[in-house]
Amino acid sequence: MIRIFQPTVGEDELAALAEVFDSSWLGKGPRADAFEQAFAGHLDVDAEQVTSISSCTAGLFIAAKLADLGPDCEAVLPTVSYVAAGNAVAATGARPVFCDVDERTLNPTVDDVEAALTPRTRAVVLLHYGGYPGDVVEIARLCRERGILLIEDSACSVASRAGEQACGTVGDIGLWSFDSMKILVTGDGGMLWARDPEMAERARKLAYLGLEQFSGLSQAPLVDSRWWEFEVSSFSGRSVMNDMQAAMGLVQLPKVEAFVKRRRAVAEFYDRELVDLTGVHTPPPLPADHRSSYYLYWVQMETEVRDRVAKTLLDRGIYTTFRYPALHRVRAYGSTASLPRGERAVDRTLCLPLHQALTDADVERIAAEFRNAVSSASANPR
């Protein structure tokens, strides 16, 4: 089976984990601190603004607290987003308000976001679909003008940039995912960045039980008695990264550029091979000053054709899927919105395998099998 996602891990990661085992310190420690420093360098931000976390989902829940979301306010999200973002908003008692998206990019435009704002809007939670930055700069400008916090879910965007800025650092809070299906993988884990230094410090405490300090021995100046005592500034859970995850992250981070280069080559091959396929749309080109992480490669066609193509490819040993189903259709969120462009997009979109472990032979086979499946489905409609 050709997988849609696949990490690239090997002897380097095993050696880094062996060093952690030899140290006998497996929890949050010096490697987590070093990974925060390295990732901050990758983003071109101050390391004090960055906190390693147990998952991007945990980071979204922390971000909802940082935004002071609650029962009397709303947060705007694109309907094409991951359920973790909707859950993080809804869990606070705030109302998730879903906005439409561009049918081809599956990202919201600034007009889509603006149309969903109300006097009760406290935050916008933006996803960069498939690693494409979208209108993030314009949306950030709108949020600043309205006094609204912009949270960037950059789970797909570890190497994406809009102009000179890394995605996740254009707004006020950014989150990244390093789970087993991402480009940079640590098994699970993630990173959180906050623009405001006080908010960044609050995020660090929220990630670790609201403790004012992790240990008396970490204080400056060091305490000389009862270093085991502590104070709590907020009631929160434990969402920290451990040194095993961080050790993998430190090995993976220098490889990201090469990973993305290969993913871009795969995407460009699909572009060339599928551009003339009748009834199929490939992703639109990026603006000249944008860089993508190429996390997803999506094709769009009529719904019945899409579904039959997916089944044919599965039977042929090629796994495809669609990420992410429309959140305004999830009954638990209680939305009654009609978002026609988003609905049409999710009903017509399919994601093809895209990862750096794909060989040239794999990619050629996927493209050929896809072309054959589309031709068969189109020629023999039900």
So what's the pLDDT on residue 348? 98
Residue 301 CA neighbour count, 13 Å, CB half: 23
Pairing of strands 149-153, 121-127: parallel
What distance in Å separates the CA atoms of residue 109 and residue 219, rounded to the nearest whole number? 46
Neighbours of 111 (CB within 10 A): 15
| Domain 11-255, classified CATH 3.40.640.10, yes or no | yes
So what's the pLDDT on residue 217? 46
What residues have CB less than 8 Å from 62, skipping those under 6 apart?
53, 192, 203, 206, 207, 236, 239
Q: What is the pLDDT of residues 261-299, one digit of tens each?
A: 999 999 999 999 999 999 999 999 999 999 999 999 999
What distance in Å separates the CA atoms of residue 126 and residue 128, rounded to the nearest whole number? 7
- State which amino acid sits at residue 348: R
Residue 344 CA, chain-centre distance (Å), reads: 23
Residues of the chain with pLDDT under 50: 216-219
Coil, strand, or helix at residue 221? coil
Distances in Å between the alpha carbon of 16 and those of 30, 179, 210, 336? 13, 18, 30, 50
Coil, strand, or helix at residue 275? coil
Phi-psi region of 106 (alpha: psi -120 to 50; beta: other; left: phi over 0): left
Coil, strand, or helix at residue 193? strand
| Contact yes or no for 199/66 (Cβ under 8 A) | yes
- State which amino acid sits at residue 195: R
Paired tokens of 90: 């809804």
What distance in Å separates the CA atoms of residue 104 and residue 283, rounded to the nearest whole number? 7
So what's the pLDDT on residue 230? 77
What distance in Å separates the CA atoms of residue 188 and residue 33, rounded to the nearest whole number? 17
So what's the pLDDT on residue 9? 98
Q: Which of 86, 102, 176 is nearest to 138 (CA)?
A: 102
Coil, strand, or helix at residue 253? helix
| Contact yes or no for 123/69 (Cβ under 8 A) | yes
What distance in Å separates the CA atoms of residue 100 and residue 178, rounded to the nearest whole number? 27
**CATH class name, domain 256-379:** alpha beta
Q: Which of 280, 286, 265 is nearest to 377 (CA)?
A: 280
- State which amino acid sits at residue 306: R
Neighbours of 337 (CB within 10 A): 17
